[in-house]
Chains A and B, each alone.
Chain A
Amino acid sequence: MTLEATRNSLASDFLEGRAKKRNSIAITAPEGVTLFFNLADVGERATAFAIDFFIWTVATFVFYLIMVFVVFGAFKLSGQIGLTVALSVMLFLGFAIRNFYFIHFELAWQGSTPGKRAVGIRVVDRKGGPLTPMAIVARNLTREVEIFIPLGVLSSLGRSNSTAENLALAAWMLLFSALPLFNRLHMRGGDLIAGTVVVALPRKLLLADLVGAETQNIFLEKHLRAYGTFELQILEELLRRPGAPDAVQLRREVTDKIVKKIDWPSKVADADTLRFLTDFYAAQRAHLEREQLYGKFRADKNAAVTTAR
C-alpha cells in the first residue's frame, strides 16, 4: 500500500475496527490516480439479490395472471390444456424476465439493479476499465447455473424419490453458489468470468472545517511536539461529535491528558474545554502540516519522525 493510504488508515483502523473494515481493491484511474474501492460484503449482495428476486417473482406472477386471462379468454382454451399452455408460457417468461432483468438494468443503470441501488452497491471492472456490455452479459448468464438451478434442485428435494442423488447434486451445486464466501474479493463465478467485482458506493459528507478563522489559545513549538497524525485524527473524531452523550466528560478527560502531556501552564475550566481542544487541534494540525511540507511525517506519538525519501 502506498504511503498516502497508510496515513489515513491508522486512525480508521482504530475507530472503525480492523476486523469490521472492508476489503478494498485499488484501481488506477486513467488520470493516474489510484482510487480505493470498498468491496460489497456478502450480506449486502444477498440483500440486493433478495430484493431483485422479489421483484422478479412479482413480475412473473403478474404475467402469469395475464396469460391465464388471455389463454382462457381470448383463445377459449379450457381446462387442462389451457392451464398447461399458461404454465409453459410462464416458465418461458420467467426465464426470459430473470435473464433480461439483470442484463437490462446493469446496462442501463451503469452496473446497478433496483436491488443493488437500494443497498448502494455496484458492479465495476476489476482492472479499472470501462464496464463492457459483454462483461455484464457474461456475469449474468452464469447466474442461472449458480443460483436459479440450485434453487430449483433444492425446492425439488422433498418431492423426488431419489433423494440421495439429489442431495449430492444440491451439495455440489451449492459449492458453486457459495464461491463468494471463499475469496477475498467476494466474486461469484460470473464475476470471475467477466472480470468484474461488486463494490459498495461510499457516501461521505463534507463537514465544516474544524479550523476556524482565529484562535484563542496560542501554542508554541514546544507544546506541539508530543503528538502525531494518529492522535490528531482521534481528536478530530471527538470534536466532530459534540452532541454525543458522554462528549462533555470525554472532552474533560482528554483536555486533562493533553494539559499534562504538553505541560500547559494554565488550568482549563469545564466550559472552556471545547475551545481549548479546538485551538489545540488547529495548532497541532498546522504544526504537523508544516513539518510535512519539509518532508517530515509523523504517524503517532510513539513513532519517530520519518523523512520522505
Chain B
Amino acid sequence: MTALEKTDLTAGARPLALKSNQFRKAREETWRELEALVARAEKRGVLSLGPEELERLPMLYRATLSSLSVARGIALDRNLLNYLEALSVRAYLVVYGPRVRQLNGVWRFLTTDLPRAVRQARWHLLIAALTLLGGVIGGFLLAQSNEDWIGALIPGDLAGDRGPDSTADELRREEIYAPWPGLVASFALMANFLFSHNTLVGLLIFGLGVAAGIPGLLLLFYQGLGVGAFIALHYNRCLLVDFLGWLAVHGVTELTAITLFGAAGLVLAEKVLFPSRMTRIESLASQGKLAAQIAIGAMIMLFVAGILEGGFRQLIQATEWRFAIGGFTGLVWLSYYTLAGRRR
C-alpha cells in the first residue's frame, strides 16, 4: 500500500496526548521504587530496609494510594489499574503489618494483659469452677458407693495400676509415698506426658467454646468426675488426707488451669449465643483475643503444674509440707490474678 492510496486519515505521524499517559509518566518512578522496596521487605523482612528507605516507604505508599484513587477515576488501562491495585495491597501489608518485639510482647502479656483478661472473665471463671466442682462431687458420690465406676470414669492410661483392686498399702507405697525415681526419669516421663495430655484436654475445652459452650462444659464436668472418683478411691481406704496432700502439690495449679480453659471457652460461647447488636461472627472476633489470652495463661500454668508434679511431688514426702506447697501456689496464683496489672 502506498501513501497515495491512503486517505488523509492514515497520513499518520501525529503526536498524541493522553491524560492517563501523562499521569503514568509523571508517577511511574514512584511506583517502581515502592515495588522494589516492598519486594525486598516481603523477602527479607522490613528490618532489611535501611533508615532512609524506611523513611521513604510510607511516603511512597501514600503517593501510590493517591495514584490508585486517581487511576480508578480516569484510567481505562486495565493492566495499569490491576498493577496499582496489587501494589497498593502489598504495600499496605508491609506498612501496616505487625511490628512487635517478641520479648516486649511476652513481658507485657505476663505483667498486664493476662491478669486483666482473667479478671474480665470472672463470671465465666465462676461458672467453669462450679461445673468442675460439680463433677468432683458427682464422681466422688458415684465411686464412693460403687467402685466399679472408677474404671468407667478414668481413662485406663491415666489410672495406671490404680483401681478398685488396689489396697491401701499399695496406694501408699506406689503412689502417694512412692520413692523419687531420679531427676531425668521423673521429669521426662511424668511432666511431659501429663503436660501434653492436660494441654490437649484444655485446648479442647477452650476450642469447643465455639460450639456454644455445652461440649466444653461437659468435658470440664468429666474431668471433675475423674478427680472425684480418685478421691473416693482413697477415701474408702482411709487415705483421704494423705491423698489430698499428694494432690495439692500440683493439683491447685492444674485444676485452676483447667478451669481457666473452661472460662476461656465460655467467653467464646457467650459471644456466639448472645451477639447483641453485632453479627455472631463479629461478636466472636471481638472477644476471641481475650479468650486466647486466658488460654495461653492456662497453658503456662499447666507447664508449671507439670514441673511441680514431675519434679517436686515425690521429692517431698511429708503431707504437711505438701499442703504448704499447695496452699502457697494457690496464694501466688490468686494474688497474681487479682492484683497484677492494675492501673495505679
Contacts and interface: CB of A to CB of B under 8 A. Distances in A.
Co-assembled chains A and B: yes
Nearest to B95: A29
Contacts of B1: 267, 269, 272
Interface string A153-174: 0000000000000000000000
A308 to B, nearest CB: 10
Nearest to B15: A214
Interface in B46-84: 46, 62, 65-66, 68-69, 72-83
Interface stretch (A39-47, A137-145, A243-251): A137-145
Nearest to B271: A193
Contact of A141 (B90, B184, B292): B292
A53 to B, nearest CB: 18
A240 B184 contact: no
Nearest to B20: A289
A193 B291 contact: yes
A31 B89 CA distance: 13
Nearest to A127: B285
Size bin of chain A's contact surface: 35 or more
Interface stretch (A55-63, A83-91, A253-261): A83-91
A101 interface: no
Interface stretch (B150-158, B193-201, B323-331): B193-201
A194 B126 CA distance: 24
A176 B207 CA distance: 10
Interface string A165-199: 00000000000100000000000010011110001
A33 B65 contact: yes
Given A8-B82, A216-B10, A289-B19, A141 B89 contact: no
Contacts of A214: 12-16
Contact of A209 (B24, B31, B199): B24
Interface string B1-39: 100011111111111101111001000100110010000
Interface string A121-136: 0101010011111111
B122 interface: no
Contacts of B21: 209, 211
B155 to A, nearest CB: 12
Given A91-B192, A204-B82, A145 B65 contact: no
B92 interface: yes
A265 B293 CA distance: 74
B7 to A, nearest CB: 5
B88 interface: yes
A89 B35 CA distance: 46
A195 B282 CA distance: 7
A289 B18 contact: yes
A89 B93 CA distance: 39
A33 B68 contact: yes
A82 B208 CA distance: 36
Given A33-B69, A202-B85, A266-B9, A91 B196 contact: yes
A237 interface: yes
Contacts of A189: 207, 210
B160 interface: no
A292 B74 contact: yes
Contacts of B207: 141-142, 144-146, 176, 189
A8 B289 contact: no
A108 interface: yes
B89 A265 contact: no
Interface residues of B, number: 86
Contacts of B246: none
Contacts of B77: 209-210, 236, 285
B203 A141 contact: yes
Contacts of B45: 108-110
Contacts of A130: 96-98
A11 to B, nearest CB: 6
Given A35-B85, A35-B88, A122 B102 contact: no
Contacts of B300: none
Contacts of A213: 15-16
B78 to A, nearest CB: 4
B26 to A, nearest CB: 12
Most buried by A among B20, B80, B98: B98
B291 A204 contact: no
A194 B188 contact: no
B275 to A, nearest CB: 12
A202 B82 CA distance: 9
A233 interface: yes
A202 B90 contact: yes
Interface in B150-202: 184-185, 188-189, 192-193, 195-196, 199-200
A122 B207 CA distance: 23
A236 B82 CA distance: 13
B85 A141 contact: no
B311 to A, nearest CB: 14
A270 to B, nearest CB: 11
A203 B93 CA distance: 13
23 contacts: A8-B78, A8-B81, A31-B62, A31-B65, A92-B195, A107-B102, A110-B45, A124-B93, A129-B96, A130-B98, A131-B97, A132-B98, A137-B296, A142-B210, A189-B210, A193-B210, A193-B288, A201-B89, A207-B79, A218-B9, A218-B11, A236-B78, A289-B19
Nearest 3 pairs of A and B residues by beta carbon:
A195-B285, A145-B207, A193-B288
Interface of A: 4, 7-8, 11-12, 27, 29-31, 33, 35-37, 71, 75, 77, 81, 84-85, 88-89, 91-92, 95, 104, 107-111, 122, 124, 126, 129-138, 141-142, 144-146, 149, 176, 189, 192-195, 199, 201-207, 209-220, 229, 232-233, 236-237, 240, 265-267, 269, 272, 282-283, 285-286, 288-290, 292-293
Given A35-B89, A36-B85, A206-B28, 13 more contacts: A31-B62, A33-B66, A85-B184, A92-B195, A131-B98, A132-B98, A189-B210, A195-B288, A204-B86, A206-B79, A206-B80, A267-B1, A286-B18
